[in-house]
Structure 1
Amino acid sequence: MVKPSNDAVIGLGAAIQRVKEMESPGRSGVRGQSEEEEAMAAMDVASDVVLLKKVWRNEKAAPEVLHFEAGLIQRAREQIQLLEETVEELIEIRSDDIVVSLYQMDLDRALFLLRSYLRIRLQKIEKHMLHIYRTHLWNRLSEQEQRFAKRCLDIMEGHLERSVLSRLPYGYQSMLKQSISSEEDDMVPQTQLDTFIFCKAKEQYWSFPVG
């Protein structure tokens, strides 16, 4: 028997439930078309968790914000909602505690990955709002993230204008440049791309060039 990986654990509870249904009276040993479709759906769920874990790792390791995975996040939210409903139903019918705990474990892990992924992106947006807004990185954000960043920019610009910039002499009232003589936006913090990161190779390499 092959032990399921941690990445595919979200499909474990559903698989156990299907096995119990197949062993119940009145069910034949031959699987019908609907059961095959359910099995394929469980495989899709497991693969989505693997993809979610991958994009979470990439986002966590990347110094700048990456493209928002809209389709994957939408599917993950739907699967989480389905798991929440399943856990509630199992508790109502007083199902086996082990089955409930497996479903709850799947739900907790999926919620952690999703929340952490979104939280990391928001932290990057808050830290480099001006840089993201003025570069191609803006197109990598979702519509909700763009509204969040635009609102934060408006609030920050209004606060700086009222509290600091309006009191400075002419030529020093920009939130982008130190003075009017500056040729570049030297007041905008940018992401540090010249930094160390950790990488995981998908294939084994005995040697590779560096530099």
Structure 2
Amino acid sequence: MDIDDILKDFERQANQSTSSSNFENQLRQEDLQKLQQSWISERSSPEILPYEIELLERILLRLKEKIEFIEYNSIELQKTKDIKLKLMIIESEVQRINFLIRNYLRTRLYKIDNFTIYIHNTDEELKKLAPTELEYMERHFEILVELYNKQFLLKLPEALRPLDDNSGGINMVPEPNLSTSVFFKVANDINEIITIGDEHIELTNNGIYLMSYKLIRPLVMTGNVFLI
């Protein structure tokens, strides 16, 4: 192999490495955009949405790698100043990602707290929770039952003790208000027409609309529209 062949081989390897790095960076940016959109949708939705388990697993794994990189290279700060700027940039990115994850999870826990009994009694809602969220919800439900029994339920007639009582046409279980109006943006060409009374609204790609959540709920679940 002469020098030209060696240089060509080195250039080919460098291009492959650069291409792979660019692809990974693109995936990371796409995941961060998905995380931000999941957080916004969760905050805007009246009900709890399915937990983005695969997305969170990928992001948390990368976050762990970044933190390990910072911890390892912080030792070198005493020897060289070249890495300081790089570490500051990485730390800023870690803080930004942490903010999104914490707020995403806090929003979900807030809904679990508010709709504990409803979620506990609805199989469809239980499937939306992560294993840790399910454990939290079950414990919260046990605490609620214990508290209500001690405070007043045991003093009532047995027929009035169920927490999910809906006799007399009054539902005692707090539920999400699916009639809440929400802003949303169409993410795909879905050729969907929403009928409101005598009016027919065609949803177009990238169009922004305001209407009742229950009308576009199936589209939210399939990812064809996202809340804003």
Q: In the alignment, is the contact (CA less than 8 A) between 2:185 and 2:209 conserved in 1?
A: no
Q: Could you state the TM-score of these two structures normalised by the residue count of structure 2?
A: 0.70
> 1 or 2, which has the higher strand percentage?
2
User: Which stretch has the larger CA shift, 55-64 or 83-92?
Assistant: 83-92
C-alpha separation in 2, matches of 1:142 and 1:208:
30
Q: In structure 1, what is the equivalent of residue 73 of structure 2?
A: 90
Please give the secondary structure, in 2, of the residue aligned with 1:199. strand
Q: CA offsets per residue over residues 101-154 of structure 1, 9 Å max, x none? A: 111111011111111111111110110011112222111111111111111111
Q: Could you state the TM-score of these two structures normalised by the residue count of structure 1?
A: 0.75
Q: In the alignment, is the contact (CA less than 8 A) between 2:42 and 2:104 conserved in 1?
A: yes
Relative to structure 1, is the Cα distance of residues 77 and 41 closer, same or farther in structure 2, using a 3 angstrom cutoff?
same
Q: In structure 2, what is the equivalent of residue 81 of structure 1?
A: 64
Q: In structure 2, what is the equivalent of residue 113 of structure 1?
A: 100
RMSD after superposition: 2.5
Pick one of 23, 26, 29 that aligns with 1:40.
23
C-alpha separation in 1, matches of 2:157 and 2:115:
27
Aligned amino acid, residue 37 of structure 1: S
Please give the secondary structure, in 2, of the residue aligned with 1:153. helix
Relative to structure 1, is the Cα distance of residues 69 and 97 closer, same or farther in structure 2, using a 3 angstrom cutoff?
same
Aligned amino acid, residue 96 of structure 2: R
Q: In structure 2, what is the equivalent of residue 62 of structure 1?
A: 45
Q: In the alignment, is the contact (CA less than 8 A) between 2:66 and 2:94 conserved in 1?
A: yes
Aligned amino acid, residue 51 of structure 2: F
Q: Across the two proteins, how many residue pairs are aligned to each other? A: 180
Structure 1 residue runs without a partner (length 5+): 1-27
Relative to structure 1, is the Cα distance of residues 141 and 43 closer, same or farther in structure 2, using a 3 angstrom cutoff?
same
Structure 2 residue runs without a partner (length 5+): 1-9, 188-204, 213-228
Matches within 5 A, 1:1-211: 31-94=14-77, 95-135=82-122, 136-177=124-165, 182=167, 186-200=171-185, 203=205, 205=207
Relative to structure 1, is the Cα distance of residues 209 and 200 closer, same or farther in structure 2, using a 3 angstrom cutoff?
closer
C-alpha separation in 2, matches of 1:177 and 1:145:
25
Please give the secondary structure, in 2, of the residue aligned with 1:171. helix
Aligned amino acid, residue 111 of structure 1: N
Q: CA offsets per residue over residues 32-85 of structure 1, 9 Å max, x none? A: 534433332222212111111111111111110001111001011101111111
Q: In the alignment, is the contact (CA less than 8 A) between 2:183 and 2:211 conserved in 1?
A: no
Please give the secondary structure, in 2, of the residue aligned with 1:140. coil
Q: In the alignment, is the contact (CA less than 8 A) between 1:177 and 1:184 conserved in 2?
A: no
Q: Percent identity?
A: 23
C-alpha separation in 2, matches of 1:208 and 1:115:
28
